[in-house]
Amino acid sequence: MPREATAHLPVLVDEVTFLLRPRRGGWVVDGTVGMGGHAERMLESARPTARLLGLDRDPEALARARQRLARFGDRVVLTHGSFRHLGRHAADAGVTEAAAILLDLGLSSYQLGAAARGFSFQGDDPLDMRFDPTQGFTAADLLGSLPQEELARVLFEYGGEPHARRIARRIVEARDRAPLRTTADLVAVVKRGVPRAAWSRRTHVATRTFQALRMAVNEEVAALAEALPQAAALLAQGGRLGVVSFHSGEDRVVKRHFRSLERTGFAELEPSPIEPGPDEVRDNPRARSAKLRVLERLEAA
């Protein structure tokens, strides 16, 4: 197994495995299988009759998950696709109901470090940012085409960037001279848009901008809103849906959907999201903003 795969640390894996109860058997659906960390732990905890359907938009992530989960044989079905179409992918795999469903909305460590993907602001890579590099528009396309006001909205709404308007103006000024093609191009523009006194000592000045563009490129909030009702409909009685989010906007979408489902035979296990403890954050700093919410189907469909 590649070194990156073994080094990958799935977030809140103990909490996910305990609360989703894969040991009950049946189908487990991992809508963001990534490098297979959560899937591996859930299969280890499940009965030998349990099976897992894993989805991912990223073909490279899917290949790594296939290698990691190979020892489980035909208990694992891996599919290249988005959880946005969860119902269709489940039907294609013969899944009529699921005992557990997981959606982990974070990036894997390999994605952040992969050259040519453009997720990280640390290098000088092409501004791509697509989870699925085989389809859709890139971050460079978005930066080159969106009006200034729409750029500012994206940066503020998805990234919580307080200097969104200034950065958007700098982006438009820069692209009028030459297209923004690399992550270094974008970092330079962000640095010109954020006053030096406002730079944080804890996080890179471009962190919020990169997050916002990634979410816009991959239509993450819209995909999540479409996936949640499909996931709830797929749950068996007593089945549980867990969502790990890393952004306040995503968590609001999950909270709102869970609250609406509570009127139709579902219940959220805890009123507040579960967050990683200090030991996990120390060992895996990327976990610090993670929030887990879990929904259970109480009544039969």
Region 185-208 average pLDDT: 95
Q: Could you tell me the residue ranges of all domains in the chain?
A: 3-110+220-297, 132-217
**In the prediction, which pLDDT does 151 show?**
98
Q: Which two tokens stand for residue 232?
A: 């709830």
CA atoms within 13 A on the CB side of 23: 6
112 pLDDT band (50/70/90 cuts)? low
DSSP 21-66: -GGG-SEEEETT-TTSHHHHHHHHHS-TT-EEEEEES-HHHHHHHH
From 3.40.50.620, 2.60.120.10, 1.20.210.10, 1.10.150.170, which CATH number describes the 132-217 domain?
1.10.150.170
Q: Which two tokens stand for residue 154?
A: 């994206």
Distance from the first to the final alpha carbon of the chain:
41
Region 126-150 average pLDDT: 95
The label of the residue with tokens 């500012």 reads 152
25 pLDDT band (50/70/90 cuts)? confident
299 pLDDT band (50/70/90 cuts)? confident
115 pLDDT band (50/70/90 cuts)? low
Q: Which two tokens stand for residue 138?
A: 């890139």
**In the prediction, which pLDDT does 8 show?**
63
Task: DSSP letter for 168, please.
Answer: H
Fold of 3-110+220-297: Rossmann fold (3.40.50)
| Sequence-distant (≥ 6) Cβ neighbours of residue 136 within 8 angstroms | 130, 217, 218
Is the model's pLDDT at 120 over the cut of 80?
yes
With the CA atoms of 122, 9, 219 and 183 taken in that order, what torsion angle do they form, in degrees rounded to the nearest 10? 10
What digits encode the pLDDT tens for the residues 53-104?
999 999 999 999 999 999 999 999 999 999 999 999 999 999 999 999 999 9
d(C-alpha 234, C-alpha 236), whole Å: 7
Region 215-230 average pLDDT: 96
**In the prediction, which pLDDT does 51 show?**
97
User: For the whole prediction, is pTM greater than 0.85?
Assistant: yes
Is the model's pLDDT at 138 over the cut of 90?
yes
